[in-house]
């Protein structure tokens, strides 16, 4: 049973590593430019501090997943890993929700504040960012499942023998 638990955790971490890594890479390589009324309108991920925070947070999460993957043994840091998993899940959900908020404005605009949507002018950038956000969302869900599984698996020696 211990082996099965270890395999599932490793698989989930591998999945999370892939998702966070792809989110980082896709966001970093997203750029587009358009010429609107003789003005060069270029869109890169560095134009918005939210997307910069998104890249940094996903990079931290992928580095953490990589390190923990190579740490899988019955060592004493396992309790610290469970706690750090909660912190990293919090980081991932914060970065994806902030990026989603800003991307929603970019796509639909905000009529009350007088902000026009920009996806009409730079569609390639918008598609790239959508892909990165999907990967980040998957990573956040996978980390939540990982946390639930760790907290549940820790309990299985606890279930008492029914009298």
The C-alpha atoms of residue 30 and residue 119 are separated, in whole angstroms, by 13
Is there a contact between 92 and 54 (Cβ–Cβ < 8 Å)?
A: no
User: Given the complex with another protein, which of 49 and 123 has the nearer CB atom?
Assistant: 49
According to DSSP H, which parts of 29-155 are helical? 49-69, 78-108, 123-153
* Residue 112 Cβ vs another protein, minimum distance, rounded to whole Å: 4
User: Given the complex with another protein, which of 11 and 87 has the nearer CB atom?
Assistant: 87
* Residue 131 Cβ vs another protein, minimum distance, rounded to whole Å: 20
The C-alpha atoms of residue 48 and residue 149 are separated, in whole angstroms, by 35
| Interface with another protein (CB under 8 A) | 42-43, 47-50, 53, 79, 82-83, 86-87, 89-91, 93-98, 100-102, 104-106, 110, 112-116, 118, 140, 144, 147-148, 151-152, 154-155, 157-161, 163
* Residue 36 Cβ vs another protein, minimum distance, rounded to whole Å: 10
User: Given the complex with another protein, which of 26 and 136 has the nearer CB atom?
Assistant: 136
User: Given the complex with another protein, which of 8 and 149 has the nearer CB atom?
Assistant: 149
The C-alpha atoms of residue 148 and residue 113 are separated, in whole angstroms, by 40
* Residue 34 Cβ vs another protein, minimum distance, rounded to whole Å: 12
Backbone angles phi, psi at 44, to 5 degrees: -130, 165
- Residues 6 or more apart whose CB falls under 8 angstroms from that of 14 comprise 65, 69
User: Given the complex with another protein, which of 11 and 41 has the nearer CB atom?
Assistant: 41
* Residue 58 Cβ vs another protein, minimum distance, rounded to whole Å: 14
Both tokens of residue 149?
């599984």
């Amino acid at each position: 049973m211990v082996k099965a638990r270890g395999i599932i955790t490793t698989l989930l971490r591998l999945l999370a590593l892939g998702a966070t890594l792809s989110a980082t890479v896709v966001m970093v390589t997203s750029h587009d430019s358009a010429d609107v009324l003789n003005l060069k309108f270029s869109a890169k991920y560095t134009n918005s501090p939210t997307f910069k925070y998104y890249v940094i947070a996903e990079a931290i999460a992928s580095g953490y997943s990589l390190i923990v993957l190579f740490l899988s043994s019955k060592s004493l840091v396992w309790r610290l890993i469970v706690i750090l998993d909660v912190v990293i899940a919090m980081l991932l959900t914060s970065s994806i929700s902030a990026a989603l908020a800003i991307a929603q404005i970019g796509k639909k605009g905000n009529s009350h504040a007088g902000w026009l949507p920009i996806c009409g002018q730079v569609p390639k950038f918008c598609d790239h960012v959508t892909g990165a956000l999907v990967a980040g969302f998957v990573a956040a869900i996978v980390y939540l499942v990982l946390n639930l599984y760790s907290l549940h698996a820790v309990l299985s020696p606890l279930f008492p023998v029914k009298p």
